[in-house]
Structure 1
Amino acid sequence: MAGLLAPAGGLAGGLPEGDSASHGFSPDRLARIDDAMQRWVDDGKLAGVTIAVARDGKLVYDRSVGMADIARGLPMTGDTLVRIYSMTKAVTVVAALILVEEGKLRLTDPVSSYLPEFAGTGIYVDGGPDTPNTRPPKSPPRIFHLMTHTSGLSYPGGYDTTAVGTIYDRKDVFNPRNTLAELSKKTASIPLTDEPGNFHYGASIDILGRVIEVASGKPLDKFLRERLFAPLKMNDTMFTVPASLRGRFAELYTSGPDGKLAVLRDGAGLGLYETDARLLSGGGGLVSTTYDYLRFCQMMLNGGELDGARILVPKTVQLMTTGQVSPDRRGTLKDFSPGYDMGLGFGVLEDPGASGMPGSAGEFRWGGAASTEFFIDPQEKIVAVLSTQFMPSDAHKLREDMKALIYQALTAPDR
Structure 2
Amino acid sequence: MTDYATSVNLQDPLLERPSTETSYITAKSIPISTRYGYVLVTQQGKPDRTPLVTYHDVGYNSATQFHHFFAFNEMAAITDNFTIYHINAPGQEDRANPLPATSVYPSMEELAETVNDVFNHLEIKTAIGFGVGVGANILTRFALKYPSKMYGLILINGVSRGINYFEGFTLKWPTQDMPQTTWTDPLLTYLIWYHLGFETQTAHPDLVQSLRRHLEENVNAKNVIKLLNSFLKRTPIIMERPNEMNKNANPPITLTCTIMHITGFTSPHKDDVIDTNDKCDPTKSSYVEFSDCGGAVLDEQPAKTAEAIRLFLQGLGHISHMSIPKYSIANRVAEQAAENKRRNGSLGRISRRGSAPFDSVDSGLYRRDSQDDDTVGDDYYGHELQLRVDSFDDRNVKL
Same fold (TM over 0.5): no
Greater relative CO (CA pairs within 8 A, separation 6+): 1
Q: Tell me the TM-score normalized by structure 2.
A: 0.27
Q: Tell me the TM-score normalized by structure 1.
A: 0.26
Larger radius of gyration: 2
